[in-house]
Structure 1
Amino acid sequence: MQFSGKTVIITGAGKGIGRACAELMAARGAEVVALSRTMSDLENLKAEIGCRIVQVDLQDPKAARAAMAEAGTADYLINSAGINVLESTFDMTDEGYEAVLGINLRAALITCQEFARARRAAGGGGAIVNITSIAGHRGFSEHLCYAASKAGLEGATRVMAKELGPHNIRVNAVAPTITLTELAVEAWSDPAKSEPMMVRHPLGRFAEADHVAASIAMLLSDDCAMVTGAVLPIDGGFLAV
């Protein structure tokens, strides 16, 4: 799967899965346009892979649209930006609702919309991969808004696959298990919490960011030209048992 001559926009490219995607897509020949809130992360990534960078707070809808305009027309979009606020149903705050749903769901819908509009104007074609989570399929404590945002993004992925298909734009999602990023380390650092999860994985391990990036590249590639509206678990078998 090579992407020479192709351009990919990646949100949340400064860290975790987004960064792994940026590194992999660049290694396979794509021009990467990296979006992130943290300029130091972007500058470090640019020095490493030579990508274009756009600093943006995706929680701001106007800023998200402006960032997509700056990024320009691309062949692919990977929505990796995401946060979690570890609060229970009783304790979730209005600020937590706005932050998690604003970045994980609303911002992803905006970037998809702007990407699709640009692709339609360019004559169609292209592919989107949204990163969701097994948390959208199973109930984990202190993941109220995170679960809602990821399940919502999967529903939106199916709608977009239907609406954008006539323009030859494919839209899929991946639902990783616990992936060993900074976000996951914070959420699953307590062995009393992580070990019961580990034993529910038939492969006996959590995912690495590179595992997720490789599956995303597959979905973007022409090898998956007839795949759209799908949600691919990258979960070591967690959802199967």
Structure 2
Amino acid sequence: MTRLSERFSLSGKTAVITGASRGLGVTLCDVLSQAGADIVAVARDEALLAETQAIVTENGRRCLSIAADLLDASAAHRVKVRIESAFGTPTILVNNAGMSIPKTLLDQSVEEWDSIFALNLRAPWLMARALAPGMIEARGGKIINISSMASSVALTEHGPYVASKAGLNGLTKVMTAEWGPHNIQANAVCPTIVWTPMGERVWGVGDKLTRFLEKIPSGRVATPEEIADLVLYLASPASGMVNGQEIFVDGGYTAL
């Protein structure tokens, strides 16, 4: 039996994290680098990526920052080329980049709908499609898709967000079916509200958050660290038999 520290270690691994310049993405880079992983931080804002890189470097790990807009369908291939030229083949992918534009179904524009689906659903597929061949060659890998509790419950004014996250959960299962035989584990993490700048922007208006918390048995939102710690488990050797799962971190919301 391996030691506990070894089962949860990411030493010698490279983790690619999208949406790495803000909120949960920064925490993911911090936690996974503390566990020993070198980090590839992908996001649009080059200046903010420099701050993420400083955190990873302080943890004693290497960090490659790649400024890329994943709304562009060709970006995933360019990201792959940059990674492989600098770090070789990564075996951990965390599809964290996402967006929401809260509006009713009647008010949502086609352009907004398409953008939300492009980032929340198409980009995770394109990133995984780009990196999975290297994982297959390496005979193992981890794909963690940051989904949402909203993938399974109705959330007013979030139509395309809910639909895209439900699609992401389905995509995760197909990744499992196709790539599981190559020792690749794909799982979806489904948080409730995570108190990041994005969470505060969407939920910090009037009594919106108070009304929502009344439906959560735990009575609070999640912290970025609580989500990142679960991602660490899914990225580590300890989770080798966890595959194709939708793991809810919702304080009991979906249990009711």
Report Cα offsets for 1:210-236 as digits up to 9, x if no partner: 110001111111111101000100111
Partner of 1:44: 51
Partner secondary structure for residue 74 of structure 2: helix
| Structure 2 Cα separation of the partners of residues 123 and 190 of structure 1 | 47
Partner of 1:177: 192
Q: How does 1:202-241 map to 2 (within 5 A)?
A: 202-241=217-256
| Structure 2 Cα separation of the partners of residues 224 and 123 of structure 1 | 18
Correspondent of 1:69 among 54, 63, 81: 81
1:166 aligns with 2:181: yes
Q: How does 1:1-241 map to 2 (within 5 A)?
A: 1-50=8-57, 51-72=63-84, 73-120=89-136, 122-241=137-256
TM-score by length of 1: 0.97
Unmatched runs of 5 consecutive residues or more in structure 2: 1-7, 58-62
| Structure 1 Cα separation of the partners of residues 171 and 210 of structure 2 | 32
| Structure 1 Cα separation of the partners of residues 82 and 114 of structure 2 | 25
Name the count of aligned residue pairs: 240
Preserved contact between residue 176 and residue 244 of structure 2 (Cα < 8 Å)? yes
| Structure 1 Cα separation of the partners of residues 44 and 197 of structure 2 | 15
| Structure 1 Cα separation of the partners of residues 24 and 51 of structure 2 | 16
How far did 1:192 drift?
A: 2.2
How far did 1:165 drift?
A: 0.6
Partner secondary structure for residue 203 of structure 1: coil
Report Cα offsets for 1:98-156 as digits up to 9, x if no partner: 21101111001100111112212x33201110000011111111101111110000000
Deviates further, 59-68 or 103-112: 59-68
Preserved contact between residue 188 and residue 194 of structure 1 (Cα < 8 Å)? yes
Which segments of structure 1 move beyond 4 Å, counting only runs of 4 or more? none
Preserved contact between residue 87 and residue 142 of structure 1 (Cα < 8 Å)? yes
Partner secondary structure for residue 40 of structure 2: strand
How far did 1:191 drift?
A: 3.9
Report the RMSD for the aligned CA atoms in angstroms: 1.0
Preserved contact between residue 57 and residue 64 of structure 1 (Cα < 8 Å)? no
| Structure 1 Cα separation of the partners of residues 120 and 64 of structure 2 | 23
| Structure 1 Cα separation of the partners of residues 135 and 50 of structure 2 | 28
| Structure 1 Cα separation of the partners of residues 81 and 108 of structure 2 | 34
Partner secondary structure for residue 61 of structure 1: coil
| Structure 2 Cα separation of the partners of residues 18 and 68 of structure 1 | 19
Unmatched runs of 5 consecutive residues or more in structure 1: none
TM-score by length of 2: 0.91
Preserved contact between residue 152 and residue 166 of structure 2 (Cα < 8 Å)? yes
How far did 1:175 drift?
A: 0.1
